[in-house]
Structure 1
């Protein structure tokens, strides 16, 4: 199976729920209110952080199954059974710990009105129950991705995520807006995914046979997963500290104003995840020379997929946010969204060295880099929020993305693919952002014309670096192909299959 096809499957599995998720945010805010939506956002952030209780077994399973690509089926089944049984035991313990932590957070830490506090506290048992479900999903899907079953996993994931977006909204519309009802509906959606993935793994790993738990396999998985666990502790803490600081300093409405544009723009990293997931099994088995070629291929592909859309979105963010969220929240969210677009544009490319390190058996380097950033980032974030408000928090996040990109690329030993092009594009995007922020707000026709120009320039730049095997599939006029050929700077890696 080719990297291009696997990436395409991942993209489809990402785009469908992404579009649905963005479309339903205004409905959620309208039905349950911005304060309750802010609390619901914190619920899923807490759950995401406590996903560390899988001890990295989800990613470790992917890496181990990929390594056993040519091994007998019984050996792969043994690794899978070991990971799953261990994960279920750990998930039960994590469920109890999360219950206590969520209770403390919503009863004492986050600033809430008395009625909303009581509602959030009463939902904490359900929040805790979501943890073992989430960690089980990680092992089941990770095992299938290790076998490069990307079409199957994305079909199930897209369906589950669609249900995850729609069911709570239907409950809020037809039954009530109580957080307990909303979280229960979300659990039902994730339960569907567990059932579907379980059936798929049964066909792939012989779940009808006796469980083959193996201590040697466990120790191998845990050696890898222990560093993944530390990463799972550090990375979400870095990612979500801004929300909790905003909640404690500025309140839950400010969390919504900050979180909605961040999560909306963050979805573009799903494109990077699609490419990185397709590369992961290959990175796990290839040597350095081939890994460098794969990294260059991935960077070229990401630049071609992401840059034109980001250039257009940067220009049109203000009218889009006002249309999407209304004049009040949209006007406050738009400047933040532009900063997040710059940050997540960088984040898409750092997924390549990030994946290379993890797949190559060096998740320890990822963890050490993130741990070194922790205290400086928290201090800078706190100062930025106090000094510049929500925009300060967004710029602190952007600076962290710059530091991440430099350090991860350095230690991944794959070089800095397309460094000059990346720096030139970043400088152009920063200049555009400065003009939009400091200058007078252009009229809508001017914004549309500027967006069209930015999209055209971004598309031409994308065509210059797009991998040749994908460029050949595009229905481009021959005249344009002849114009592009002398200026092409992509580096073919042969057949990426």
Structure 2
């Protein structure tokens, strides 16, 4: 499939749910209230973040199954699929148990929830924990489908999940009113339905059966090795994107979270454009770096310039028009609390957008370790600064620190990309380790 078609499929998979979200978020905010909606956004983040408890096995399955399809037998393909799914299930159960064990302190103390909502939050987090194994299993099944190049089906299911993510809570509010437990239960039900759809499609490729990981140590080691550095980066990077709202809830209270998360969730959707391009760009860069480094560098520079120009226009409009847009969408009272945050966040979105191109280039060259170490270093700097700034400057402090981190991340990613294209021997050796 061409670069253009892959990009369009990725845009469809990420963009269609955003359109429904634009319609349902004002409804949920008005009917449920600022605090309940803020907690719902935290649950969205938790379910999405805990899906990373697949430990990179979804991506590892894509790579390993694709190799087996090219040169292995049908039995070998079936074995690696089922082995990987068993491992993903075990990882998902671990993540679900971890969330269940932390539900009580999260709801009662750590999120600074109003006393009348604390019990509801605990129950909702326990319900959300059931969705973690479903999410990780779906990640593994998606990896198998991508190995078979079923990109159309994968993105159609992504659209279905995204639509359900916004639509199902709105339906529960219409039926039962603003009850947090029903909203969260609808999210888990959505993930169960999407899981069944993925399983049905994979079942067309192979049969399912139980397999003991300890009976295939070499293949287990291969899957885990491939996903190890990717997992570190995948765990840390989303945490730095979303953990600020948990810090805000803990330091200044859950009642203010929505003023931050709503503009953030809108602006973060702008990243679907660079993400769609870099997802399609990744395999092309991987091939060119191996055979024609000059052509790879030209493609890299062209892509980076394209993203920079397009996103500069989009983010400038978002920053300048934030007050008008938030007022039109959510009303004057909400806009007064959030438009300044949106204006500053738009600058960070620009940095984050541009950074995706050198990030893709570094990983295309095999430097997954480099990007993971960059994110690890950022992690230890970002969180102390986040607590200090939120404590002293409130929501504005959180926004400023996030933008600063995005700028530093962009700069370091360009350093890694420069190592790739400069032909630096030391950098190449380091990247291969």
8 Å CA contact retained: 1:224, 1:363: no
2:190 aligned residue: 189
Aligned to 2:142: 141
Structure 2: any 5+ residue segments left out of the alignment? Answer: 423-433
Which residue in 2 is equivalent to 1:465? none
2:280 equivalent among 275, 278, 281: 278
Partner of 2:103: 102
Q: Deviations over 1:255-303 (max 9, x none)?
A: 1101110111000111222122223344555534254344335434534
User: Hey, what does 1:44 align to over in structure 2?
Assistant: 44
- The answer to whether the 8 Å contact 1:148/1:281 transfers is no
Structure 2: distance between partners of 1:375 and 1:64: 33
Distance 1:149 1:304, change over 3 A: farther
Sort the Cα spacing of 1:177 and 1:193 in 2 relative to 1 into closer, same or farther, 3 A.
same
Match of 1:157 in 2: 158
Indicate how the Cα distance of structure 1 residues 278 and 82 shifts in structure 2: closer, same or farther if over 3 A, else same. Answer: farther
Contact 2:308 2:350 in 1 (8 A): no
Shift of 1:208: 5.9
* Count of aligned pairs between the two proteins: 415
Question: Partners of 2:6 and 2:381 in 1: how far apart?
Answer: 38
- The answer to which of 258-267 and 123-132 deviates more is 123-132
Query: Counterpart of 1:200?
Result: 201
Change (3 A) 1:254 1:209: closer
Structure 1 distance, partners of 2:296, 2:150, is 21
Output the TM-score relative to the length of structure 2.
0.88
Partner in structure 1 of residue 255 of structure 2? 253
Flag the 1:113–1:212 CA change in 2: closer, same or farther, 3 A: closer
Q: Does 1:239 align with 2:241?
A: yes
Is this contact kept in 2: 1:61–1:221, CA < 8 A?
Answer: yes
Change in 2 beyond 3 A, CA 1:134/1:106: same
Task: Give a deviation string over 1:77-115, Cα, whole Å, max 9, x none.
Answer: 444332212101221222111101222211221111222
Q: Contact between 1:67 and 1:284, CA under 8 Å: does it hold in 2?
A: no
Larger radius of gyration: 1
Query: Residues of 2 paired with 1:199 and 1:44: CA distance?
Result: 25
Partner of 1:461: none
Counterpart in 2 of 1:118? 119
Once the two structures are overlaid, the 10-residue window that deviates more, 77-86 or 131-140, is 77-86
Contact between 1:55 and 1:226, CA under 8 Å: does it hold in 2?
yes
Aligned to 1:436: none
Contact 2:316 2:346 (C-alpha < 8 Å) held by counterparts: no
- When structure 1 is superposed on structure 2, of 185-194 and 349-358 the one drifting more is 349-358
Structure number with the higher helix fraction is 2
- 1:390 maps to which of 381, 390, 395: 395
1:431-454 deviations in Å (ceiling 9; x for gaps): xxxxxxxxxxxxxxxxxxxxxxxx
Structure 2 matches for 1:357-396, cutoff 5 A?
357-396=362-401
Q: 1:58 matched to which residue of 2?
A: 58
Q: TM-score scaled by structure 1?
A: 0.77
Residue of structure 2 equivalent to 1:482:
none
Kindly indicate whether residue 415 of structure 2 is the aligned counterpart of residue 407 of structure 1.
Answer: no
Q: CA RMSD in A?
A: 2.5
**Residues 22/73 of structure 1: CA separation in 2 closer, same or farther (3 Å cut):** farther
> Alpha carbons of 1:235 and 1:215: their partners in 2 closer, same or farther (altered >3 Å)?
same
CA distance in 2, matches of 1:31, 1:171: 11
**Residues 54 and 91 in structure 1, CA contact (< 8 A), matched pair in contact too:** yes
Greater shift in the superposed pair: 239-248 or 303-312:
303-312
Separation in 2, partners of 1:294, 1:132: 39
User: Residue 82 of structure 2 contacts residue 208 of structure 2 at CA under 8 Å; is this kept in 1?
Assistant: no
Match of 2:330 in 1: 325
1:335 maps to which residue? 340
